[in-house]
Chains A and B, each alone.
Chain A
Amino acid sequence: AQKITQTQPGMFVQEKEAVTLDCTYDTSDQSYGLFWYKQPSSGEMIFLIYQGSYDEQNATEGRYSLNFQKARKSANLVISASQLGDSAMYFCAMRDFSSGGYQKVTFGTGTKLQVIP
């Protein structure tokens, strides 16, 4: 089974609207971490937000928030008030021990978000 699944290859959102990017994960570990990264067309990978498996509150960083539903094994990224600069690929990633060492991170296949003016 895929450890990280991003089912939306591409999405469109109107500028100033909110958008949710889906991510589900698979792990048997109790302790794990979930990350979201942004990759604009210029190519760099930018860390956005982190959620730990034991965190009781959903993580937030500015306009980014993570809708963490542990029982459903989902960690969806919510971007509020979309801006044109949010157009990019977004990757969900997980760090868990069963990946073969706790520093290894498994990345999903990404969702390409396009913000429409």
Chain B
Amino acid sequence: DAGVIQSPRHEVTEMGQEVTLRCKPISGHDYLFWYRQTMMRGLELLIYFNNNVPIDDSGMPEDRFSAKMPNASFSTLKIQPSEPRDSAVYFCASSLIGTDQPQHFGDGTRLSIL
């Protein structure tokens, strides 16, 4: 079975540009999560969706960040305008409902803002 698929794997762009990260969750999973990982802050939950509906976006750092899930098989995380401090690895994860269900992670997008 295909796992969580993220694109692109790497993104290098200049400050001020719009960045769009994409995620395809595992088919049939009810939940989708966006995380950011940095050396300083570790793994941070940015936002999560249940059945395409955003449930908690309290981790989104500021208005420059937005996330959508237009259907069960696709989600985007957008940063506009991007800043050097947004440089990080961004992970998408999905899971089934259930307390014992693990989150399955994509390979991540390594984002560098110059």
Are A50 and B56 within 8 A (Cβ)? no
Report Cα–Cα, A110/B37, bound state, in Å.
12
A104 and B45 in contact, given A43-B107, A44-B108, A45-B91 (Cβ under 8 angstroms): yes
Contacts of A68 in B (CB 8 A): none
- Quick one: which of B89-109 are within 8 Å of A by CB? 89, 91, 93, 95, 97, 99-100, 102-108
Segment touching B, from A15-23, A71-79, A95-103: A95-103
Question: Interface extent on B, as a size class?
Answer: 20 to 34
Most chain B CB atoms below 10 A, which of A32, A44, A102 = A44
The tally of residues in A whose CB lies under 8 Å from a CB in B reads 23
A33 interface neighbour in B43, B56, B100, B110, Cβ under 8 Å:
B100
Interface contact tally, CB-CB below 8 A:
50
CB of A109 closer than 8 Å to a CB of B: yes
- Quick one: which of B54-71 are within 8 Å of A by CB? 55-56, 58
Are A100 and B58 within 8 A (Cβ)? yes
- Quick one: which of A70-117 are within 8 Å of B by CB? 91, 95, 100-105, 107, 109-110
